[in-house]
Structure 1
């Protein structure tokens, strides 16, 4: 994998990403291909340049998806996105491309951790309900003084103990919460997790946590993991479910059933099986559901550029890159 300092082609809607990469890699030629629209369209000239000349590409996933099988020189492409599901669907895992594809596995975790902790605090202190009262010009102090819990009294279960799950756990641990994690296998180093469970022990996490946060990727093993009556295990503590991972971990009707049966107290949803969430979805009007438009981990220029720079240095040194896409595993 060793390489000389090759030019880097950057094609992304992330603001000033090419400029940030050029600043971090001052000895490297950085070629900025301009995104023409929100559909990640490049000019014919830029497409021709990319497909005929790019060895290294840092780009949004739709660009990589288009270039993967048509570029003649491409050796390594890093996506600015954390998820690669749409790319997995067009690649035969038994005949993967010769191109090394990596994803931006770091750079989103801190923002997502703040999103999760923010909604935990907002839920515990009933900030959203108070906003409704303000709009109605109602003064109801008594209902907000009852049953107030300290963060140090709460237990958070994180489904997915990878980098993002670890960053969420670390932030919540820093404010006193007890943190449980779900992983594919037992970890000798628990990091911020007080308890680590494997997938066959999922029910134990659902039964014992005040909040359940999903950050699992979309794979054949995780699709529908919480669908059916799996969330009935939550009825002991009635946690709030927070989803910042992938929407297909639970179908809408299973989630609505869990809320209506009071197995869970409610849900904070940033991801959905179908996006945008259809206007006729019952989730929109459920009073116990908070909906946000897939924005818990927005691309932030500096972290994305830093993650790429770190991988670039490993690439030219011939070292194993971080977050190589594993076609057979689906992430």
Structure 2
């Protein structure tokens, strides 16, 4: 029987206990699931890991065959020098659908001008004949075409939007204009009426949206960032908002979380703050991915979503 360590916050265990136990049992692998302090670290075969959990030093886990991340992002653990085991990131259907629904909802909110409509609920009937363009005449740019970015871009194409995607490495996705490289980034930003970022946190993406690159956007562009807070130079974005270069920003991720009460984003009239809710791991679907990777390992098959340490994701 293998031993699986659930190394997330103890308050999350009640949500995962049933789904994770059932998902592993369904694979036919005999397993005991323990929490930190309940077993000798050297007896653990797999670590179900969260950056907010108690296990951050992996030195004692000499038998562990893999660290299975519960989060999509691995930036908080990938550079951990004590981590010598294979590391797998979380890509699951529930998380993906949550991201798609968040992104499409906010793109449609901007596209249809819903904020302006809600601000006019004052008893005055305003209808000057103006209507938003059809989605096919609205240019949306997706920064990041990994599993989540690709799913969001494809959903927007289904809604009729003209979608351009940018990624560090070249991609070819039906219905989407795919760009890469520095020149591709400049071209993508120059057409971004609505800009969505789902890029990972790497040294290459830090402050990718800065004073220079924000100036490439069409005047009044909208930004949606459910990816990583480090992508945006906060001071540069605030300046771009103040001068109207950026019309509005919806931000779900930040350098410091929770976002401090004194942060200028809270009070800015053209910023919507959401509390990192775009792509939460769901216990049921995340447990299925964890269980499948355990099954694969025990069967001698390759892991799903294995992290490339040299690239950081």
> Is 1:226 matched with 2:225?
no
Contact 2:23 2:291 in 1 (8 A): yes
Q: Secondary structure of the residue that 2:312 maps to in structure 1?
A: coil
Which runs of structure 2 are paired with 1:95-244 in the superposition (5 Å)? 97-107=83-93, 108-134=95-121, 138-142=122-126, 146-187=130-171, 189-191=172-174, 193-200=175-182, 201-235=184-218, 238-244=220-226
Change (3 A) 1:11 1:50: farther
C-alpha distance in 1 between matches for 2:33 and 2:123: 55
Contact 2:142 2:166 in 1 (8 A): yes
Q: Secondary structure of the residue that 1:302 maps to in structure 2?
A: helix
C-alpha distance in 2 between matches for 1:86 and 1:274: 13
Give the TM-score of the pair, scaled to structure 2.
Answer: 0.88
Q: How many residues align?
A: 306
> Is 1:60 matched with 2:50?
yes
Q: Secondary structure of the residue that 1:274 maps to in structure 2?
A: coil
Q: Secondary structure of the residue that 1:149 maps to in structure 2?
A: coil
Q: Post-superposition shift, 1:130?
A: 4.3
Q: Post-superposition shift, 1:89?
A: 4.2
Match of 1:39 in 2: none
Q: Secondary structure of the residue that 1:28 maps to in structure 2?
A: coil
Match of 2:66 in 1: 76
C-alpha distance in 2 between matches for 1:144 and 1:125: 15
Change (3 A) 1:330 1:141: farther
Match of 1:282 in 2: 264
- State the Cα deviation string for residues 271-296 of structure 1 (Å, max 9, x = none): 11222222222211111111101111
Q: Secondary structure of the residue that 1:241 maps to in structure 2?
A: strand
Q: CA RMSD in A?
A: 2.4
C-alpha distance in 1 between matches for 2:73 and 2:128: 39
Match of 2:309 in 1: 327
Q: Structure 2: 5+ residue runs without aligned partners?
A: none
Give the TM-score of the pair, scaled to structure 1.
Answer: 0.84
Contact 1:216 1:246 in 2 (8 A): yes
Contact 1:251 1:273 in 2 (8 A): no
Q: Post-superposition shift, 1:204?
A: 0.6
Q: Secondary structure of the residue that 1:22 maps to in structure 2?
A: helix
